[in-house]
């Protein structure tokens, strides 16, 4: 939550504290694929961003579309879904080169995942593996800090890439808590749980300044 407070302060400084004649904003849009490593899972997502620029500062907001994840590999009917929103603050660092710039980025993401999947268990009585279906829901909140590179392809067109690390909070619930399969000693447990920890993210984006 401390990092979220820092982001709010950055937004206030971005829009306030300047005289009227200094408030010269420019706007832009971008498309950003992301690849995250969270605990033992991976997620590939797509962000469609809208940005406001003022001098070295950039504020960006984007919907997040879930493209693929290791959790959905057993889902026979998985399709791309809108899962949440990303809010980012960039501090851009111009270099002497007209082609390359550097930047720092702080990002907060708030997402909701719904996943249906098929698993299996071993039935010792019949000496076979049997399938079962389940549905899980996850509320995900993450904060990351990134260091990246901007390649200015033209005066308005650019490519950005960065490596980020941060902390996440997650709450997962299942369709049912637990089940003992009839005529077996097998218990399938889907009790909900909370988890948190560090995670990493790699991004790349192509954008245009209007």
Where residue 156 falls (left for φ over 0; alpha for ψ -120 to 50; beta otherwise) is: alpha
In this predicted model, which residue has the larger pLDDT, 180 or 56? 56
Q: What's the whole-number mean pLDDT along residues 166-170?
A: 94
Q: What's the whole-number mean pLDDT along residues 168-177?
A: 76
Tell me how many helices (H) and strands (E) the chain has.
Answer: 1, 10
Structure token pair of residue 123: 């039935």
> What pLDDT is stored for residue 143 in this prediction?
97
Where residue 133 falls (left for φ over 0; alpha for ψ -120 to 50; beta otherwise) is: beta
Where residue 72 falls (left for φ over 0; alpha for ψ -120 to 50; beta otherwise) is: alpha
Q: How confident is the model at residue 182 (pLDDT cuts 50, 70, 90)?
A: low
pLDDT one-digit tens code per residue, 85-144: 999 999 999 898 889 999 999 999 999 987 776 666 666 677 777 776 667 788 999 999
pLDDT one-digit tens code per residue, 14-63: 555 444 445 588 999 999 999 999 988 899 999 999 999 999 999 999 99
pLDDT at residue 166 above 90?
Answer: yes
């Amino acid at each position: 939550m401390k990092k979220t407070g820092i982001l709010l302060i950055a937004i206030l400084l971005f829009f306030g504290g300047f005289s009227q004649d200094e408030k010269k904003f420019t706007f832009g849009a971008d498309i950003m694929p992301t690849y995250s490593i969270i605990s033992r899972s991976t997620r590939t997502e797509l962000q469609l961003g809208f940005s406001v620029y003022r001098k070295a500062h950039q504020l960006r907001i984007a919907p997040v579309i879930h493209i693929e994840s290791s959790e959905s590999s057993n889902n026979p009917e998985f399709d791309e879904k809108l899962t949440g929103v990303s809010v980012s603050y960039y501090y851009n660092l111009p270099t002497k080169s007209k082609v390359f710039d550097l930047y720092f980025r702080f990002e907060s993401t708030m997402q909701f995942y719904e996943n249906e999947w098929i698993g299996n268990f071993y039935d010792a009585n019949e000496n076979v593996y049997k399938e079962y279906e389940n549905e899980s829901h996850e509320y995900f909140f993450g904060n990351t800090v990134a260091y990246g590179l901007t390649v200015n392809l033209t005066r308005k067109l650019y490519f950005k890439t960065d490596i980020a690390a941060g902390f996440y909070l997650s709450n997962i619930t299942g369709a049912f808590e637990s089940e003992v399969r009839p005529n077996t000693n097998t218990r399938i447990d889907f009790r909900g749980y909370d988890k948190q920890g560090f995670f990493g993210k790699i991004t790349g984006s192509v954008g245009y300044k209007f």
